[in-house]
Amino acid sequence: MEKTFVLLKPDALQRGLVGEILARFDRRGYRFLALKLLQTTEAQAAEHYGVHKGKFFYEDLVKHLTSGPVIAMVLEGSEAIAAVRKMVGATRPPEAEAGTIRGDFGQAGLRNLVHASDAPETAAAEMAIYFDESEFVASERAIDRWIFEDGE
């Protein structure tokens, strides 16, 4: 099983898309290990987008991420990082395929609704920005045997 980090950005909350987006992950069979509503601080946003520091769009990213509440979550499932990113769609909503979160609901570049980690290392680093490991709740569901293959 692989863990990944997902963040519903302020535009997802302001547009009333939280339920729809969470339902997509739930219906896909991902386990929710951690989930919380919070107001991102400037320090968290700066750390989250640190890889982009110095780029022309960095300040706008930080400003957007701190503009309203967000929902941070840790999901677990088979090849979760790649699969969740595919569900989320291309970073720029106009380039995202129909059927993806950004393809179905996204409108503009920074207003792309959701962030999903791109690699195990970034997932671990991003989880640490928003969660303490003690906040993770691991549990098995009766349905898991119908979703995951033996040995996962």
By annotation, the residues acting in catalysis are 115
How far apart CA 118 and CA 128 sit, in angstroms, is: 15
CA distances from 147 to 33, 130, 151, 152 (A): 16, 28, 12, 10
Closest CA to 34 of 129, 122, 136: 136
The residue assigned the tokens 């750390």 is 47
Cα(96)–Cα(137) distance, integer angstroms? 32
Q: Tell me how far the alpha carbon of residue 87 is from its chain's centroid.
A: 10
